[in-house]
Amino acid sequence: MQRSLLALALGAAITLPLATFAQQPPQQPLGSAPPVPGWQQGRPDSQAASPLAPNAPKLTVTPLDQVPVGRLTLPAGFRAEVYASGMPGARMMAVGANGTLFIGTRTIGRVYAVSMEGGQRRVRTIASGLNQPNGIAFRDGALYVIAINKVLRFDGIEGKLDAPGTPVDLTAAFALPTEEHHGWKFTTFGPDGKLYMQVGAPCNICSVDENRHAVLLRYNPDGTGREVVARGVRNSVGMAHHPATGQLWFSNNGRDWAGEDEPEDTLGVVQKIGEHFGFPYCHMGSMQDPEIKGRECSEFSQPALRLGAHTAALGMRFYTGDMFPAEYRNSMFIARHGSWNRTQRVGYDVVRVTLDAQGKPTMHPFLGGLLEGNNFLGRPTDVQQLPDGSLLVSDEQMGAIYRITYAR
């Protein structure tokens, strides 16, 4: 049963950017033809006139009264409010030891921080001018910010939000690829203390260096000890370790321009370090690519669950809190950012995935209401649990964070 929720809003103040670390994209050589946009690559000639194109992000502040929290639907007993707003492009989240919420972005190149001061939440921009600083992780008092091929560590950040200072630059140690297409990162620390992230395929569909692209990686926090955790993962922008087994689960976005209803995005789990999940030869475990030949789907690891065609399954976390009903514990929340390569839009929601005694996953609806007809009102991008057991959901399109609570 789902019900619409009344809007609750909490004010936030915005300060000007305090630190800028420029990272310029490569320049196009003079006299050369412009490259085909990455999203068009792989589009067949028969679809050359297709109106389908990626959804443009909104990069201006959305007034609080226009944030569609009142349209959200949730199961009975759950309630949504605006936790913070006024952060254009807000995407991936991490929580500091003192409760500060850090938020990465893509196109706008900023990193935000939300903290409690005088009983009010305050929003700051603590870094700007970065090239898609989507990856955010916090460990031992330090904030790690991962852009396309730049890695910065802000030590003691919660004690100096007004003047973050110059971060430790770990870029050379991590030596990440420079390609921008699918080059934005999702970052998390594992139970082994390693820093996990992905490098997506630098294309819609193409052959790749299987040690460099379409991989899940882990490093020591200083950038040493690089290890390929999984291969053949086209574009994962969400991963989390199971709180009991420690296994790494991840979302994966399927290729475009191969059908309205396939391939589906998937949920995977790493059973063996270095295993291969099929890209570019095989999608969703069973669909042979129409262009890239040479290997069969039977050669690769299967996904654990299909998450819908073109839904753009992104940020995900396991729920370990006590606020929600007991059956929610150790289940996954996954933000589905919403489709573009499909005539009838799908996604624009948050789903919950449960595991049975044998570890078999099942998907359930959780947060909806942002897709009306074929128009979207917002784009859930990441989820993050707070220490009190409530759940945050970032909405990139609205530049806002929703807080989900439960009361019996």
Q: What is the pLDDT of residues 206-225, one digit of tens each?
A: 999 999 999 999 999 999 99
Q: Is 18 within a domain?
A: yes
Query: Higher confidence at residue 36 or residue 57?
Result: 57
Provide mean pLDDT across the span 123-148. 98
Q: Is the pLDDT of residue 29 over 60?
A: no
Task: Indicate the pLDDT class of residue 36, thresholds 50, 70 and 90.
Answer: confident
Query: What pLDDT, on the 0 to 100 scale, is given for residue 92?
Result: 98
Query: Cα separations (Å) of 16 from 38, 132, 153, 291?
Result: 33, 19, 21, 48
∠ CA 253-257-258, rounded to 5°:
85
58 lies in some domain: no
Closest CA to 201 of 249, 255, 152: 255
Number of domains making up the chain: 1
Distance CA 126, CA 257 (A): 38
In a domain, 401, yes or no: yes
In a domain? residue 125: yes
Query: How many Å apart are CA 82 and CA 100, to the nearest integer?
Result: 16
pLDDT band at residue 34, thresholds of 50, 70 and 90?
A: low
- Residues near 291 by beta carbon (within 8 Å), at least 6 away in sequence: 42, 205
Check whether 30 has a pLDDT greater than 60: no
Give CA separation, 280 vs 171, 227, 289, 380, in Å. 28, 21, 7, 27
Overall average pLDDT of the 95-124 stretch: 97
Residue 229's CB: how many other CB atoms inside 10 A?
A: 22
Q: pLDDT-based confidence at 2, cuts 50/70/90?
A: very low
Which two structure tokens, joined as six digits, stand for 404?
Answer: 């989900």
The band of 259, judged by pLDDT with boundaries at 50, 70 and 90, is very high
- Does residue 177 belong to any structural domain of this protein? yes
pLDDT digits (tens, 9 = 90+) for 67-105: 999 999 999 999 999 999 999 999 999 999 999 999 999
Amino acid, single-letter form, for residue 210: E
Residue 183 falls within a domain, yes or no? Answer: yes
* Per-residue pLDDT at 9: 40
Pick from 12-21, 137-146, 173-182, 190-199: least confident:
12-21
Domain that holds residue 147: 2-25+67-406
Segment 283-312 mean pLDDT: 97
CATH of the domain at 88: 2.120.10.30
Tell me, yes or no, whether 30 lies in a domain: no
Q: Report yes or no on 45 lying in a domain.
A: no
> What's the chain's Rg over C-alpha atoms?
20
Please provide the DSSP assignment of 297-352 as one string.
GGGSPPPSEEEEET--EEEEEE---SSS-GGGTT-EEEEE---SSSSS----EEEE
Q: What is the mean pLDDT of residues 135-153?
A: 97
